[in-house]
Chains A and B, each alone.
Chain A
Amino acid sequence: MTPDETAVFRAAMRDVSSDLLAYFERRVRGSEDAADLLGETMLQAWRRVDAFPVSDRTQQRMWLFTIAANVLANQSRSSRRRKALTDKLRTSIAAAPTRPDLTELNAVRDAVLRLQESQRELVMLIHWDGFSIAEAAQLLELNPSTARGRYAAARSSLRDALAEGAEVSESTLR
């Protein structure tokens, strides 16, 4: 990799780092654990830097998120090194404020979390992480048409679950 390409790589890492952190924050219990996973993702990315798609910004983001998804899937690995690297970020995150969650939002979130696993991650990637269906399919190594089908089924399940929830709430009030 040339110095210019390495500079592009660093810039991409910096640009995407906040989104990657958010990706982990939404999938693991503690924000500090998210910092560790981000550290591991960056280590993995540097290790594979020769495969980085230098000329395509969209693919750069996808490439980094693919590594993040693999890291998330293998998060039980030894974490001593990444913890040392992310100590300061963990401290910063612990000190940073979070916005409170509201009940209505929790109902929607619960409905998402109750989806089948194969549908849930698609919905999260699309609605929480901002990926298109095609990009989410790529990240999950799915055929795009399979992803479209699963996404449609997920939406249908969500509509039913949320309508059911609303009916239960109304009947409780009566």
Chain B
Amino acid sequence: MGMESQLNDRLAAAAPSVVDRTDEVRRELHQLVAATEAATEAAAAPTRRRFTRSRGFAAFGAAVAVGLGLTASATGGVHTPWGSIAAQKFSYPGPSIHAEDMTHGSNCKVVYGAAGTWDPKHPVSPEERAQVLEHAREFIRDIDLSTISVPDAIRRYEAEHARLARSTGLDLPASEFRPDGTPDDIKAFAVLAALDQRLRAELKGKGLSTHAVGAVAMPECETVVPPDQWSEADHS
């Protein structure tokens, strides 16, 4: 073996190791693409402002949904790989879902919709996913969110949370959104859980795959900064 070739081999072999791309890592990588798309959409969306100026962190879009019996995926906003999704806006008056923003005040809302999911254990063809997503999209668009009892949804969500914590022995975060989930976080995810449950029942009833899509939630918050706290950056 020539010296140059030997050096090449030694260099290649010396690459720092990376974590194995397990099914779970691969799935999260795929879902991150959708989640970042949703966050970008949220950031670009026009927001209502209480003050004439507002700090740049206008939207906190995360797309979330997995766990607690759900297998919903992470995306939201307007687009998915299979076209526009139906989205409903469900407004929460009052404090921000970010505790650290509450000193400034904020406006938050949660957008619910449907998005495609990717699960290596249950492969679905793009065609089938597109078909299921179209149906899920229409289904969620037509749901009247006022028919979901928020207190009941929270009770079911918390019961499921407790059951899962007991069965896994894990110290689970209070909500899928943030480890220190605020009541608003929990409310948002409780409604999502209820919505996802309805969606899955609908898909099952129609003989459609429940592994192709899921309900999604995307909280959007606008942090409002009183004028006397504006920084130079706010004026730029």
Interfacial residues, chain A to chain B (CB-CB below 8 A): 3, 6-7, 10, 13-14, 17-18, 21-22, 25-26, 31, 38-39, 42-43, 45-47, 81, 84-86, 88-89, 92-93, 95-101, 105-106, 108-109, 112, 123, 127-128, 155, 158-159, 162
Contacts and interface: CB of A to CB of B under 8 A. Distances in A.
A96 B21 CA distance: 8
Contact of B37 (A18, A46, A92, A162): A46
Interface residues of B, number: 45
Contact of A128 (B15, B43, B79): B15
What does DSSP make chain A's interface, helix, strand, loop or mixed? Answer: helix
B7 interface: yes
Given A43-B39, A84-B177, A93-B25, A123 B18 contact: no
Contacts of B12: 127-128
Contacts of B79: 3, 6
A88 B66 CA distance: 9
B15 A10 contact: no
What does DSSP make chain B's interface, helix, strand, loop or mixed? Answer: helix
Contacts of A100: 17
A96 B19 contact: yes
Interface of B: 3-4, 7-8, 10-22, 24-37, 39-40, 43, 57, 60, 62-63, 66, 74, 79, 81, 83, 177-178
18 contacts: A10-B37, A14-B30, A18-B26, A26-B15, A43-B36, A47-B40, A47-B43, A81-B39, A88-B28, A97-B22, A100-B17, A105-B14, A112-B11, A123-B11, A127-B12, A128-B11, A128-B16, A155-B4
Contact of B32 (A3, A39, A112, A159): A39
Contact of B16 (A93, A109, A162): A109
Contact of A84 (B7, B17, B60): B60
